[in-house]
Amino acid sequence: MKLKVMGVMNVTPNSFSDPSETFTSDTLSNRLEFLKNFDAIDIGCESTAPMNHSIPWGNEWERWQMVLPFLKNVRGVISADTYHPETIFELVKYWEDHKLPSTLMWNDVSGKFDESVKDFLKTGRDYVFCHNLSPRRELSGRHMEYVNPQMDLVAYFHSYRHPQVIFDPCLGFSKTFEQNWEILSGFSDLQKKLNHTRWLVGFSRKSFLKKKYGVEERDKLDELHVQEIKKLLHTAVGELWVRTHRPELIQN
């Protein structure tokens, strides 16, 4: 099992996990300086929490403008957490025009393996394919309105095995409380059934974690997340990316 640690950077005013966050040159620079010590930095400029409305890609792109100047000396992997194809292809162009030293990855929460995804894969970059049952990209944040009691992740993912594709069961999205914990307890079996070696899990500060343990306090939630991740690492195989708000706790 090869562990990859991905730190989260939310550049949104309405994040579910990082509420009341403010962004200045200093806060952005300091966060990036810290996160560059890990395998990847996952940058999100739109919240997909169910209580928030979707925004046009142009608004999301404006938020990216705050971050991009700070990436010129960042190496490793930059994961763009967006469901907007317009945004990801603007980022591809920016990476090529400015010859950024980092590698761009698309973390696409939409669950839509469409033509834009196929075009992105042609660039040779990695793509995170998420389980989200929302019928359209612009409804990605409404995922809890689309829950299937007969969830079948094997059927969902099986046609999309590709060397550049990383499967993400997308815990907390389009799932009941019970389904989230079923995925975690049966994760190694899921890996074996699909015979796919590249996976991502990200559930730090998720509501199903809070509900199980009856905890709201952030530091305690982060500790519980590490506890669950360690259980997962005992049986997981292949390449496993762990997306987390506290990457230092996973790496240690």
Q: What is the dihedral of CA 69, 74, 75, 81, to 10 degrees?
A: -60
Pairing of strands 103-108, 127-130: parallel
Q: Identify the residue whose tokens are 């992740």.
A: 153
**pLDDT band for position 52 (50/70/90)?**
low
- The DSSP letter of residue 42 is E
Say if residue 40's pLDDT is above 90. Answer: yes
Listed in order, strand segments (DSSP E) in the chain are 2-10, 40-44, 77-81, 103-108, 127-130, 165-168, 198-201, 239-244
- Measured CA to CA, the distance from residue 239 to residue 102 in angstroms comes to 20
Question: Which tens digits make up the pLDDT trace of 163-218?
Answer: 999 999 999 999 999 999 999 999 999 999 999 999 999 999 999 999 999 999 99
Model's pTM, two decimal places?
0.94
Q: Delimit the domains of the chain by residue range.
A: 2-251
The CATH number for 2-251, chosen from 3.20.20.20, 3.40.50.720, 3.30.465.10, 3.30.420.40, is: 3.20.20.20
Residue-wise pLDDT tens digits, 233-250:
999 999 999 999 999 999
Judge whether residue 155 has pLDDT over 50.
yes
Collect all residues with Cβ–Cβ distance below 8 Å to 41 and sequence separation of at least 6.
Answer: 6, 7, 9, 32, 35, 74, 76, 77, 78, 79
Which pair of structure tokens corresponds to residue 4? 């990859």
Residue 13 is which amino acid? P
Q: What are 80-115's pLDDT values in tens digits? A: 999 999 999 999 999 999 999 999 999 999 999 999
